Structure 1
Amino acid sequence: MSFIWLALYNVRFWELSAAAMWHPSAGAVLFMASLFVLAWVVLALLLLLSPTRGVMRAAASAMFVIAAFSAYFMSEYGAIMNQEMMRNVLQTDHAEVAALLNADIALHGVLLGIVPALLVWRVRLPETSWRTQIGQRAIAVVVALGVAVAGMFASSADYATFFREHKPVRYTLNPMAPIVSMVGLVAGSNKTNANAPLIDPAGKIERTAAPAAKPLVLFLVIGETARAANFQLGGYARETNPELAQISGLTYFSNTSSCGTSTAISVPCLFSHLPRTAFKVDAAGRYKNLLDSLVQAGFDVQWRDNNSGCKGVCARVTNIDYNRQPDPKYCHDSNCFDAVMLEDLPETLRKIERDTVIVFHQKGSHGPFYSERYPPRFEKFQPACRSNQLQHCSQQEIANAYDNTIAYTDHVLASQIRLLREASSRVDSVLIYVSDHGESLGENGIYLHGMPYAFAPAAQKEVPMLLWTSEGYVRRAHVQPDCLRTEAKLPVSHDFFYHTVLGAAELRNQAYDRRLDLIAGCRRGGGSE
């Protein structure tokens, strides 16, 4: 069985290994041969270490199903089965699963997963005592490890390069990679004591400005899968931001990098006081976050979700999940267009009497079914890929569908700004938009997102971010728009979000870092400390 897995379910592993290490020489032949033996041994150990034959059969059946689906996503989308990808699997919802289903994956799962999983139980083995079985396995393990180690020593220099310079390849060894990654993820999650009191790293929060005549309203819009390369505001040749391009008071930050390459990482990181280099998603739930500080400061805080949840960020604030209460005007087949979150905003803005923060978690450009993320009237770029099997569409069709999602996001953001402008007699307002991560659209055979950050392409890490301020807020906070436009050319990242939101809300706490506040340096007089 381990031979079958290695030969038939590891196409991606061998493609990446060959691309990394193959060249016409005797040394390369020896390395590839020894790698085959090593991988064979590793997969065999998954079964040899089973305590009984019954457990071995059950494990083999499960691993055929795991290997079948993993092989599909690795081969078709270039996915990497690391812990981050397993976290995405655990946190996905039925709508995201439905968007991935198609005839190809069903056929793949049945023929390469379910059928061999059932055939495993028809294998007849001779009856032997448990002592004999243990002895046989011990001999097999020792011999296999001996052969593998000998091969590694024979090509030790190549292995040093392979393991050090090509780390993502190990996360494509199937079904070893998804199993080890999932076990590691669950083990790490279990170390967190859910009943332990929350740690407050920010301490006391203070207002830095005197009470104003009008309430302050902050719209924090968390985009989904929007990549900077396809934003017209950042220089993209297509008109994907025709409405935002006409709005005054808007600043686009053209050199922004994300905290992660998946929603499960980036969203908690955005609302954490920690920078990307220090942030650990497994520990994020132990700390109070940005929303907690805003509540402590007396703001009304609301999270509106049209995605797969807030990843724990909104646990202690009002939460509206539009997937649980779909509006037929905007929703169909478990999918809601992002405008659903705006339907009651005019009335909400009319009733606001206190400083308020509303977070909008968009569906945005979530793939692979890009054509379902926007209403038909927004299909500006044609022909658009209308399938979740991206490999069956041309590169241009994929780009067209994706660009239509960006154009729809442009419309939603412009609509939010217009609503804030209409309410300017009652409130001062700020809108901050940033995408959680980018997206690969088939470049170098990679689709979607979720690659390990150190090896992910720029398309998955470079994201759009923009800031809009009302005229009332500019006067209230003494903001210099020309200065903001100059600052917008500098490299920034998700690390700036926490501190910029606090600064925009005219708040400070112990975690606040003025150097990471995009507005602070553009207040007349240099801003308050």
Structure 2
Amino acid sequence: MRNFIPKISYFWLTLLISLYFTFVVNFPVLLHFYQILHALPAYKIGFAISIPFVLFAALNFVFTPFTFKPVFKPFFIILLLLSGLASYSELTYHVVFDRSMIENIVETQQSEASSYLNTSVIVWFVLTAILPAVLLFLVPVKYNQSVIKRLGVRILSMLVSLAIIGAVASQYYQDYASVGRSNRTLNVEILPTNFLYSSSEYFYHKYLTKPLKFEKVGTDAKLVQKPGQKPTLMFLVIGETGRAQNQSINGYDKPTNGFTQKTSDMVFFNHVSSCGTATAVSVPCMFSDMKRVDFNNDRAHASDSFLDILQRAGVSVYWKDNDEGCKGVCDRVPNVTIPTTKDGKFCDGETCYDEALLEGIDDKIVDDGKNKVIALHLIGSHGPAYYHRYPDNFRYFMPDCERSDIQNCTHEQLVNTYDNTVRYTDYVLTQVIAKAKKYQDKYNVAMIYLSDHGESLGEDGLYLHGTPYSVAPPQQTHVPMMFWLSPQYVAAQSLSLSCLQSEAAENDYSQDNLFHTVLDAMDVKTSVIDPSLDILKSCKTAQ
């Protein structure tokens, strides 16, 4: 077949590849750029015309060093395949491939990754990645110049690329700077430099940086309980992808919290912000003593979470997972991840409904007189296959979207499907409460629920989550939190429930509060507790 394909010089082939990456692979970037210009009251025509020229020149400059014969085809074939998937993600979900997104991708389990596969992504991948890669593999490349001459051509090509960029910058630097300052994700949208740089940054920090020395936190922790007080049983439920905007307790016009709103002794928090926009950041952050503003994931993985502190103080701790793992926070306490093996009840072989978390949980609540924390990590509203997160009998809001290529559903279908996940999570929380109530004769029981981050459902063209926090919309950072505190628990802690409900409705909170609140809620005293971040402290009637 190669005999029928004309030979092409490495030089012209490099320009063709740069042209392909400019107008096909980076179509989402160009589209975003021109959408930004369209929204401006005025802009220079020359500036608008220059954008693809600058992108082409920059790509040619970056690609040229990789055009030596031994690496040319392998490098660009791999690049085409990776960029095809990345381009689809940017165009469809507006994914930004920064370091945290690479971390999310690397840590995503196979069952979750498969939920992103659908007809649309397969067609896109075949047309924009596989076919060009096959064509590149088959095309004969000419290297009919001397080594010195080829080197000179490459250097000249790179210099011309720099000259084009410089010429445009001399005329429109202020325009590029202005758009860049106002749209800070643009620099991490350009393919393939965005995911190549972010991947190298991630792997450097993960595998080449000297690990931090593990730091124990709260080494002075001790359990302090009133004489004769029953032990505490706390269910700590960590949600997934729950956004506050779609909670009827926050004024949403659909009954997504119809189950918990009928439950007495509930405390709903109206204003809670997340630490990150992805599980890999938010979960380690909310279990750490660090605040969002100074959070460092490397340090979090090399130090105790509050689960470690609880366990050190004598609290029995157990983590059960139905999501992507605990991101390191449960590594040193007893933990288990639910196997997705098909059981005909809650698991279908690929995923499990969150009710599966309560199966067998009674075995972990032995009557030994110890305070206990049972942490349950929900799969909650994990997308894009939202319809997999609730059973058929919870298809309450209709019509829903029974597909993972959610951009091909109507907005009504998409929101209905997401709302069904919220309603199902709400139901699961009432089942957790019912489980806790079974142990009221032996324990003072309580439940805390907090979601890790929110979700975009097409607002401003954004889908899913993971947008850099500095530019993330509130749909991804405003999360639901609720407490259920039994009357016995309230009495034992000398709490005013009405005070707590009032403050929850009016005050602003964040995931920074969880560390300090849970330690106090479990009667653990340590110098690392910040009283100003303890939600319960101001509503205790007797200190």
Q: Normalising by structure 1, report the TM-score.
A: 0.95
Structure 1 residue aligned with 2:435, among 405, 419, 427?
A: 419
Deviation at 1:137, TM superposition (A): 1.3
> 1:324 Cα shift?
5.6
1:308 has 2:307 as partner: no
Instruction: Answer yes or no: is the 8 Å Cα contact 2:272–2:479 preserved in 1.
Output: yes
Query: Which whole-Å deviations, capped at 9, do the CAs of 1:126-148 have from their partners, x for residues lacking one?
Result: 23343333222111112211221
TM-score by length of 2: 0.93
Q: Following TM superposition, by how much is the alpha carbon of 1:372 offset from its aligned partner in structure 2, in angstroms?
A: 0.9
Check the 8 A contact 1:34/1:152 in 2, yes or no: no
Asked if the contact 1:221–1:433 (Cα under 8 Å) also holds between the matched residues in 2, the reply is: yes
SS of 1:335 mapped into structure 2: coil
> Bigger shift: 35-44 or 397-406?
35-44
Which letter maps to 1:49? P
- Paired letter, 2:149: T
Tell me how far 1:305 sits from its aligned partner: 0.5
User: What's 2:237 paired with?
Assistant: 221
Q: Map residues 435-514 of structure 1 onto 2, 5 A cutoff.
A: 435-489=451-505, 490-514=507-531
Report the 3-state secondary structure (helix = DSSP H, G, I; strand = E; otherwise coil) of the residue aligned with 1:454: helix
Q: Distance in 1 between matches of 2:453 and 2:191?
A: 26
CA distance in structure 1 between the aligned counterparts of 2:358 and 2:264, rounded to whole angstroms? 21
- Identity, % of aligned pairs? 32
1:26 to 1:401, Cα distance in 2 relative to 1, 3 A: closer
The number of aligned residues is: 525
Alignment of 1:209 with 2:232, yes or no, is no
Work out the CA distance in 2 between the residues paired with 1:321 and 1:24. Answer: 50
Range that drifts further, 457-466 or 130-139 = 130-139
Contact 1:47 1:59 in 2 (8 A): no
CA–CA separation in structure 2 for the residues paired with 1:443 and 1:228: 15
> Equivalences for 1:350-369 in 2 at 5 Å?
351=367, 353-369=369-385
SS at 2:234's partner residue?
strand
- Find the counterpart in structure 2 of residue 2 from structure 1: 18
* Cα shift readout 1:302-323 (whole Å, capped 9, x = no counterpart): 1111001111111111111103
Secondary structure of residue in 1 paired with 2:448: strand
Return the alpha-carbon distance in structure 1 between the equivalents of residues 29 and 101 of structure 2: 16
Report the 3-state secondary structure (helix = DSSP H, G, I; strand = E; otherwise coil) of the residue aligned with 1:433. Answer: strand
**Which amino acid in the other structure matches residue 425 of structure 2?**
T
- What is the SS of the residue equivalent to 2:31? helix
Mean Cα displacement is larger for which, 114-123 or 512-521?
114-123
Q: 1:27 to 1:340 in 2, by over 3 A?
A: closer
Q: Deviations over 1:463-493 (max 9, x none)?
A: 1001111222111111110110111021111
- Alignment correspondent of 2:180: 163
Residue type of the alignment partner of 1:323:
P
**Equivalent residues of 1:192, 1:283 under 8 A apart:** no
Deviations 1:383-404 (A, max 9, x none): 1111111111111111111111
Q: Which deviations, in whole Å up to 9, do the C-alpha atoms of 1:177-220 show, x marking residues without a partner?
A: 121211122222235434x5411243321334335442211111
Tell me the distance in 2 between the aligned counterparts of 1:306 and 1:24. Answer: 45
Q: 1:266 to 1:326 in 2, by over 3 A?
A: farther
Structure-to-structure mapping, 1:259-270, within 5 angstroms: 259-270=275-286
Stretches of structure 2 that go unaligned for 5 or more consecutive residues are: 1-16
Runs (4 or more) in structure 1 with deviation over 4 Å come to 22-27, 324-327
Corresponding residue number in structure 1 for 2:446: 430
Describe how 1:387-402 pairs up with structure 2 within 5 A: 387-402=403-418
Q: Distance in 2 between matches of 1:192 and 1:100?
A: 32
Report the CA distance shift for 1:420/1:152 in structure 2 as closer, same or farther (over 3 A).
same
Letter in 1 for 2:304: K
Secondary structure, counterpart of 1:383 in structure 2: coil
Partner of 2:133: 117
| 2:76 corresponding residue in structure 1 | 60
Tell me the SS of whatever aligns to 2:126.
helix
Tell whether 2:298 aligns with 1:282.
yes
CA contact (8 A) 2:444 2:489 kept: yes
Tell me the SS of whatever aligns to 2:56: helix
1:69 matched to which residue of 2? 85
Matches within 5 A, 1:284-299: 284-299=300-315
What SS class does the counterpart of residue 406 from structure 1 fall into? helix
RMSD: 1.9
Q: Residue 204 of structure 1 contacts residue 510 of structure 1 at CA under 8 Å; is this kept in 2? A: yes
Q: Decide which of 131, 144, 148 is 1:127's aligned counterpart.
A: 144
C-alpha separation in 1, matches of 2:404 and 2:346: 21
Q: Which of 203, 206, 209 is matched with 1:186 structurally?
A: 203
> Quick check: 1:518 aligned with 2:535?
yes
Distance 1:123 1:46, change over 3 A: farther
